[in-house]
Structure 1
Amino acid sequence: MARIAYFDCLSGISGDMTLGALVDLGADIAAIEAAVRSMGLPELSMTAEIVKKCGFRAVHVKVGHPDEHAHRHLHHIHEMIDRATEVDETAKTLAKKIFQEVAVAEAKVHNSTLEKVHFHEVGAVDSIADIVGTAVAFGMLGIETVAASPVPTGTGFITIAHGRVSVPAPATADILRGVLIAPSDIEAELTTPTGAAILKATSQSFGPMPGMTIHSIGYGAGTRDLTGQANVLRVLLGDANQTSVIANVDADRAVVLETNIDDSTAQQIADCAERLMAAGALDAFQTPCTMKKGRAGILLTVIAAPSRVGMLEQIIFEHTSSIGIRRHSVDRHKLVRHAETIETKFGPIRGKVVTLPSGQLRLTIEDDDARALASINKTTTDDIRREATKAWMNRV
């Protein structure tokens, strides 16, 4: 069975909260300190102490180091990681992946490049220690798979190196693109760029706790004292049920919108479906149904990302006769896929390549492209697909 860690982010996530929870789960703080010091930080110290937050016990990890005013670039961080004699290659790769998430976000926010972007808060020694220490702790605990709850960011304003900004901070918000966010009215920065990057780099899914057998639970404390809830991160460690983690399968959460319609024309519903897809719906389809009083009707179903729900409901109300929409959240499993353009004797054609749980690859040709090439070349779509599949298999 795969060793899985579930991050329960009730009060958000930061680097020190993560490391505290992992130490509480059994990661050796002395070994983590030695690993981080081997990066060329001989004066660094790391201590773990038990504290209470709103009456709950948790571990707080504190990083001590001399004052510094260095603004490091990504290559400086990589050099430090590469020279760490007490950090194994797996942990080095994970630490670089976490820093990469921060670098990409910072470059986008500041309209810079990965080579030129420099780290402020995340380039400080304590953040470096939190990230590399987390990577080392993952190896110590044998964590193979990570899942996480929806992530609250908090609200209000904070002051960073570039001045006063809204919560979530710009880099944090960019890192969390595609991550399920939990609502929160707490006026504080609950999730930091470091915490967001750790989750983005390690988590395979965001949502309810997956099927797992829990073996141990760790609590990592943040520095704030919140009103009404403990400022802690809970990490549950155990073995995943064999059916809960499937290789090459991504997981996310979507919203399903449904409405029964019996007094719109077929043309109106078709127009609405086109508008829904153009507005970002993941799918929109119609199912014949029998409504009350024996009337024939259509069940219009839309699958959407949570962020698109309001816009899509407005389209349904404006372009059909619907007077009510049902909505519910669903968990989705999706095969890992990527887009490819395949060169054929008929011309280029787009396709999707999916990876099956077994690791085998499967190609699906874009139908619009197949029809367009068939028309131009005066042949059939079957010929186009066969030629594209042959060309693709010769490349694999």
Structure 2
Amino acid sequence: MRTLYFDCFSGISGDMVIGALIDAGADPFQMQEELKKLNIEEEYTLSWGSVVKNGITSTKFDVMLTRKPEQPYDHDHTNSHLHDHNHDHDHNHGHDHEHNHDHNHNHVHHHHGSRTYKQIVEAIKEAAFNDSVSNMSLAIFKKIGEAEGHIHGLPLEKVHFHEVGAVDSIIDIIGAAILINQLGIESIQSSAIPTGSGSIHIDHGIYPVPAPATLEILKGVPIAANDIRSELATPTGAAIAAVLAETFGPLPAMTVESIGYGAGTKTFKNHPNVLRIIIGEIQ
């Protein structure tokens, strides 16, 4: 059985998942074409390329937003902490301001600066991806929506995705599903998920790591101990692993066929900030 294993020794985020899948041999150009079915390609451009993280050559994937806001966000309808592109979140000193500015003011605006869960579901269904891609994408969004609704005391249909509704996270989730389907993966397993520690700045103030949404998403998933004072698992990355992995544990016995390293944005002193995926056959 063709199996994919997420080796999350430095956490997991949506952009790291896509970088690792491309690095393992998936075709990003085919993904780019498939994503056009969403009819939002004027809102973003994609880039990917090699970077070296603490001695490991890996692939960095980025979504750059091309539209400027039409109006400021209505913060009554925003959600706590659903920005992704982990590892962008090094919230100290000047980088903090620069990052927050980009994330809070450069996203596409729908209904007071957010997209609803319902709108995202409709967009995925209207895009008419194949069943595998649609089902994976819908399940991941539902996992995040339920977690966010639980934290904010809202039913799923009332949840607004200020950040996961933003283009980068839509691309990360659906792009990951497209590449996994493209690679012919039949089963997915994962290591335990390190979340990191410390605190992060989000819309509602200073929150502990893991953020409430991330922790809610990881209910039932083994969390790995880690003393890095940084956010390692983002809500999007946590949801991809929580939804798609059938089991969590050490690397299973397999014949390894391909390996991919997906880079995060942050660089840590003592270990490479990458997600490793291992693809192979389990007898």
TM range (shorter): 0.7 to 0.9
Q: Does 1:138 align with 2:180?
A: yes
Aligned position for 2:9: 10
Match in the other structure for 1:82: 125
- Residue of structure 2 in register with 1:37 after alignment: 36
Amino acid at match of 1:77: I
Written as runs of structure 1 = structure 2, the 5 A alignment for 1:80-159 is 80-85=123-128, 87-159=129-201
Q: Distance in 1 between matches of 2:243 and 2:281?
A: 20
Aligned counterpart, 1:226:
268
| TM value normalised by structure 1 | 0.59
Q: Is the 8 A contact 2:25 2:258 kept in 1?
A: no
Secondary structure of 1:10's partner?
A: coil
1:214 and 1:75 map into 2 onto residues whose CA distance is 40
Contact 1:29 1:47 in 2 (8 A): no
With a CA cutoff of 8 Å and minimum separation of 6, indicate the structure with the bigger relative contact order.
2
Question: Match of 2:54, as an amino acid?
Answer: C
Higher strand share: 1
Structure 2 Cα separation of the partners of residues 65 and 91 of structure 1: 23
Over aligned residue pairs, what C-alpha RMSD do you find?
Answer: 1.1
One-letter amino acid of the structure 2 residue matched with residue 61 of structure 1: F
User: What secondary structure, in the 3-state scheme, does the structure 2 residue paired with 1:122 have?
Assistant: coil
The corresponding residue for 2:97 is none
The answer to whether the aligner puts 1:46 opposite 2:89 as a matched pair is no
Q: Which residue of 1 aligns with 2:65?
A: 65
Match of 1:38, SS state, is helix
Does structure 1 retain, via aligned residues, the 8 Å contact 2:48–2:62? yes
Aligned length: 239
1: CA distance between counterparts of 2:202 and 2:35? Answer: 25
Shift of 1:162: 2.3
**Kept in 1: contact 2:3–2:186 (CA 8 A):** yes
Pair 1:26-2:25 in alignment: yes
Could you tell me which runs of 5 or more consecutive residues in structure 1 were left unpaired when the two chains were aligned: 242-396
- Say whether the 8 Å CA contact 1:120–1:161 is kept in structure 2: no
Task: String of CA shifts for 1:269-307, please: whole Å, max 9, x gaps.
Answer: xxxxxxxxxxxxxxxxxxxxxxxxxxxxxxxxxxxxxxx
AA aligned opposite 1:199? A
Structure 2: where are the runs of 5+ without partners? Answer: 67-105
> Aligned equivalents of 2:222 and 2:41: distance in 1?
39
Determine which structure has more spread, i.e. the larger CA radius of gyration: 1
